[in-house]
Structure 1
Amino acid sequence: MRQDFITNTFLLQNKYAEELYFNYAEKLPIIDYHNHLPPKHIADNTSFENITQLWVAGDHYKWRAMRTLGISEEFITGNASDKEKFKAWINCIPSTVRNPLYHWSHLELKRYFGRSGIVKAEEGELLFDELSAAVQQPNFTCKALLERMNVEVLCTTEDPTDELQDHQKIAASDFNIKVSTAFRPDRFLDINHAHYLQFLEDLSKASGIEISSVTNLKEALKNRLIYFHENGCKLSDHGLNHLPFQSYSDQDIKTIFENRLQHKLVNKTQEEQFKTAMLSFLCELYNEYDFIQQFHLGALRNTNTRMLEKLGPDTGWDSIGDFSQASKMAQFFNNLDCNNKLTKTIIYNNNPKDNPVFATMVGNFNDGSVKGKMQYGSGWWYLDQKDGMTAQINTLSNMGILSCFVGMLTDSRSFMSFPRHEYFRRILCNIFGNDIANGEIPGDIDHIGSIISDICYHNAKNYFNF
C-alpha cells in the first residue's frame, strides 16, 4: 500500500494549529504580488505538451539539486528528451529529503494531480505518461492552473522597455484574475555593464527619447514609468547586492555618464555615486506615482563564469552574498525620508545573518502615516523554506509587528509554484498553534485567527490596493 505523505495535518502539530489553518487561512484567496511568470503564457492561455515543460523546465532550484546529485547537464538543460529529463528529476526526489524541494514537490503533486503518496525513483516513466496525459487536459492551461489555486491577483516583473502587450491582452479579456506587473529598471543603474550602451539604445527606442545626457536618461525612465503606471502598474522591484549610498554632485553624475558614453568604465566610487543618484531619482518617482517599491538585497549572482557563458543567467549559479547592508540602507532611506519622498517599501534579504538588520531597519522609517508602510518581506530565495520562513516570522515578531506583515509570495517562474502559499500558511499557523499550546499567547482563537487571516490575505489586499 502506498504511504500517504501530504495529509490534511501536514506541518500542523496540534489542534490549535489545525483550527487556525482550516478556519482562518486555508480558503483565503492568494495575492501573489511578486513572481516571474511569463505574462505571454497567461495571455495566450498556454497548454503544455508534457509534465516536464510544466514542472521541470526553467526551475533552477531543481537543476541545482540534480547537478549536486551527479546528473549530467544533458538531462537538465541539454538535449535529452523531455521524458528522460523528467525521469532524471524523479530519480532525484527521494534524495532531496530535508531540502524544501522534497516538500514542495510532494505538495505540488498532491494539489495539482491528487497524488498523496511518496515519490519513488523507479516510477519515473509511469509518472511521466500519467501526468503528461493530465496536463494536456483543459484544466491544466495556465489560466486554469491559476484559477484552481484560488489566485485573486498576481504581479509579474518586467523591464522598462517592455511594451506590456501581453498585460494589455489579459486586461482586455474576460479572465477574472487581476494580472499586473512590476517596473524593474536595474540594468540602467549598472553603468559598468559590458552592454550598458546597448541598454541605453533599447531604452531610447522604447521611450522615443534620444539619450545623450543624464537628463535624457531620467526623462526616458520617467516616460516608461508613466507608461507602466497607465497600464495599471503599482509596484517597482530591484534586485541589488545592497542599497547604494555615496555623496555626489550633479556635476559628478554628468561627468560619469558622459565618460561612459565615450566607452569609458568608471571607478567603484563613481559607480556607487551613479547608482545612488539614479536610484534616488527613481524612488522619488515611485513616491510621486504612488508606487510600492521592493528591494531584493544580498544575492551573489553569476558566480560560475564557465557555466554562465554556456547557459546564461538564472540557470542556477547564484548564492547568498556577504554584503554589508545596514549603514548605506539607513542613509539611503533617510535621504528619501528627509525630503518626504519615501513611499511604501518592502525589503527582502538573502542572508540569514541580516534578519535582525532588516527587521529593525523598517522600524526606523515607519512614521505612522500608513499601517505597515515599511515591510520586512517574507523569506526570499535561499530563505524561502521552513526554517527561513520561521526565522523571518520570529525575527519580525521579536523586533517589529508581525500583525502588519503582508505575507507570502512565490517569486517563481513556475505555474505549479502556488502551493508555496499553502506551505507558508501551514507554517504560520503551526507557529501560532505551538505558542497557544505552550501558553505563550492567549487561546483566543477568533483574535489570533483574525491576525492569521490578515497576514495571509487582508494585509496585502489593503497594502497594495489592487
Structure 2
Amino acid sequence: MNTTNFITDNFVLQSDVAETLYHKYAKDLPIIDYHNHLSPQLIAEDQPIKNITEAWLNGDHYKWRAMRANGIDEIFITSSATSHKEKFLKWAETVPHTLRNPLFHWTHLELKRYFDIDELLQPSTAEAIYEKANAILENKTPAQLLEDLKVEVICTTDDPIDDLKYHQEIAEKGFFTKVFPTFRPDVLLMISKPSFSVYIEKLAKCVGFPITCLEDLLKAVKSRIEYFDALGCRLSDYGLEKIYADDFTEDQVNAIFKKSISGEEILTEEANAYASCMLVKLCEMYHEKGWTQQMHVGAIRNNNSRLLEQIGLDAGVDSIGEFPVAQSMSKLLNTLNLNNKLAKTITYNLNPSQNEVFATMMGNFQNSDYPGKMQWGSGWWFLDQKDGMEKQINCLSNMGLLSKFVGMLTDSRSFLSFPRHEYFRRILCNILGEDVKQGLVPNDIEFLGKMVQDICYYNAKNYFGFKTK
C-alpha cells in the first residue's frame, strides 16, 4: 500500500461550498463532548500516557473486533501476556484490511491530528510510527491532549454511588477542559440480576441510611442526584435493550422490591413492572433538576459467552439487537408529558431500521419549553461512521429540524478519539455543500455557516447549560 496519508485539508469535502463551510465556520470551534466513557481518574492524575498501545488499544472494542476479524490471536488483543509493542504491530498489520471501515479513517485522522504523522499505518511503517507517537505521548498528559483539540467540556459516564472525587480534583486543578459527571443508573433497573441486592447495600452505605422499601430507594436515589447536581452534572443516561413502560402501582412495585432484597426470585413480569416504575420516577427527578436525559436503546450484549468469561464485560462481543420500541417509548414519554414532568430528552437507536421511528417519536413531544427540546441523537456505536452519520443527518432533516440538532459526541474510552468531531463536521459541511451544488438549498454561505456553527457547537452549549466559568 502507498505510504502517504490521504487525510488532506479537504478530506471528505467535495465542493467549494463544503470547503468554505468547514474551514471558515466549523474547523476552529471548540468541542463539547457530552457523552463519553473517559476515565476521570486518569484526567485527575494527569500523568503522561506514554504508550500509544495504552491510548489506542486498551478498552477499544472497535479495534478488538477488527483484529479478531483479521485472524489475530486473542493473546495480541486483550491478553497481558504480550508487550505493548507486539500488540501495536498486530494492530498495524490489521489497519490496511480496515479499508472502508470507519477505523481506517479514525486511525489516520488521529495519527495526523495528535502526532502529525502523514504515513499510512501498516507493517512497513509501524515501527517508526510507534516510536514517534510514544515520544510525543511521554510529554502529553490527558488534560493536555484534550486542550490540544480545544475540548471545552466532556461528560463522563458514572455510577450513582461513585464518590466523584476525581471530578472534584479536576475542578480544583482548573484545567482548560471542564469535566462533568453523568448519572448512569442502569443497575438500579435490573432487579432480577443476582448482584442487585448487593448493589442496594452499597447504595445504602453511600447515603447513610437503610433501604428496606421503595420509598427508601427513591429517597436514596434523589440524594445521589442532588450530589451529582452539586458537582455540575446536567445529564443522565441509560443503556437499555428496550424501554420499559409496563403498567404498575407503587404498592405492587414496593412488594416486588422487598421480595428482591429478601433473596426471592423475581419473575419477568415483576422485573418489568419494577423497571417501568423506576424509569418513570428517575425521569421525573431529572425534570425537577432541569437535567437532560439520554436513552441509548437497542444493543444486544455479551453474545460470545466464551469471550465474556475470558475477558469480562465490554469484551467487544455486543451487536445490534431487534427490540420493538415505538409503543413503549410513546407510552413513557406521554406519561411524563401528561404530568408535565418530561425533561429534555436525547434518544439514540442502534438499529438503523428504527431511524424514522426515533426521529418521528421525538417530534411528538416538542413544545415551547426549549427549541429542540426533544432530540434524536447522533449515529451511535455501529452507526457512528460516515454512512450512519449521513443517514442520521438526512433523516433528521426530513423528520425534524436539523438546525436545532445538538451535534456529535465520541462515546469513547480513548483520549485520542476527538477527531471524530472533525469527521462529523466535515460530513455535515459536505452534505450542505452537495445540496447547494444541486440547487436544493440557497447558496447563502453566511446563513449556512451559522447553521453549521450551531450544530457543531452553539446548540449544545446552550442546550445543556454547563457551568464552565
| Fold similarity call, TM over 0.5 | yes
Aligned counterparts of 1:201 and 1:300: Cα–Cα separation in 2: 28
Name 2:75's counterpart in structure 1. 74
Deviations 1:33-56 (A, max 9, x none): 000000011111121232111122
Written as runs of structure 1 = structure 2, the 5 A alignment for 1:120-131 is 120-131=122-133
- SS for the counterpart of 2:181 is strand
Written as runs of structure 1 = structure 2, the 5 A alignment for 1:173-212 is 173-212=173-212
Deviations 1:106-155 (A, max 9, x none): 00000011112322223222322222122112xx2101100000111111
**Is structure 2 residue 261 aligned with structure 1 residue 261?**
yes
Letter in 2 for 1:117: E
Aligned counterparts of 2:452 and 2:23: Cα–Cα separation in 1: 11
Name 1:12's counterpart in structure 2. 13
Q: Report deviation, 1:201.
A: 1.1
**Segment of structure 1 superposing worse, 446-455 or 304-313:** 304-313
Aligned counterparts of 2:152 and 2:50: Cα–Cα separation in 1: 26
Q: Report deviation, 1:304.
A: 1.3
**Segment of structure 1 superposing worse, 189-198 or 259-268:** 259-268
**Is structure 2 residue 99 aligned with structure 1 residue 97?**
yes
Written as runs of structure 1 = structure 2, the 5 A alignment for 1:374-393 is 374-393=374-393
What do you get for the CA RMSD once the two structures are aligned? 1.0
Whether contact under 8 Å (1:349, 1:355) holds in the other structure is yes
Name 1:440's counterpart in structure 2. 440
Deviations 1:202-229 (A, max 9, x none): 1111111211111111111111111111
Name 1:231's counterpart in structure 2. 231
Q: Report deviation, 1:342.
A: 0.2
Letter in 1 for 2:39: P
Whether contact under 8 Å (2:26, 2:456) holds in the other structure is yes
Name 2:299's counterpart in structure 1. 299
- SS for the counterpart of 2:157 is strand
Name 1:148's counterpart in structure 2. 148
Letter in 2 for 1:105: T
For normalisation by structure 2, the TM-score amounts to: 0.97
| Percent sequence identity over aligned pairs | 51
**Segment of structure 1 superposing worse, 296-305 or 410-419:** 296-305
**Is structure 2 residue 120 aligned with structure 1 residue 118?**
yes
Whether contact under 8 Å (2:207, 2:223) holds in the other structure is yes
Aligned counterparts of 2:368 and 2:123: Cα–Cα separation in 1: 54
Name 1:316's counterpart in structure 2. 316
Whether contact under 8 Å (1:7, 1:116) holds in the other structure is no
Written as runs of structure 1 = structure 2, the 5 A alignment for 1:247-258 is 247-258=247-258
Q: Report deviation, 1:4.
A: 3.4
**Segment of structure 1 superposing worse, 223-232 or 419-428:** 223-232
Q: Report deviation, 1:2.
A: 4.2
Aligned counterparts of 2:133 and 2:172: Cα–Cα separation in 1: 32
Letter in 1 for 2:82: A
Whether contact under 8 Å (2:121, 2:129) holds in the other structure is no
Name 1:426's counterpart in structure 2. 426
Aligned counterparts of 2:418 and 2:353: Cα–Cα separation in 1: 28
For normalisation by structure 1, the TM-score amounts to: 0.98
Q: Report deviation, 1:74.
A: 0.5
Structure 2 residue runs without a partner (length 5+): none
**Segment of structure 1 superposing worse, 250-259 or 124-133:** 124-133
Structure 1 residue runs without a partner (length 5+): none
Q: Report deviation, 1:278.
A: 0.6
**Is structure 2 residue 291 aligned with structure 1 residue 286?**
no
**Segment of structure 1 superposing worse, 297-306 or 356-365:** 297-306
Deviations 1:1-20 (A, max 9, x none): 84231000100011010010
Whether contact under 8 Å (2:53, 2:84) holds in the other structure is yes
Letter in 2 for 1:426: R
Deviations 1:293-319 (A, max 9, x none): 000001111111121111111120100
4+ runs deviating over 4 angstroms = none
Letter in 1 for 2:391: A
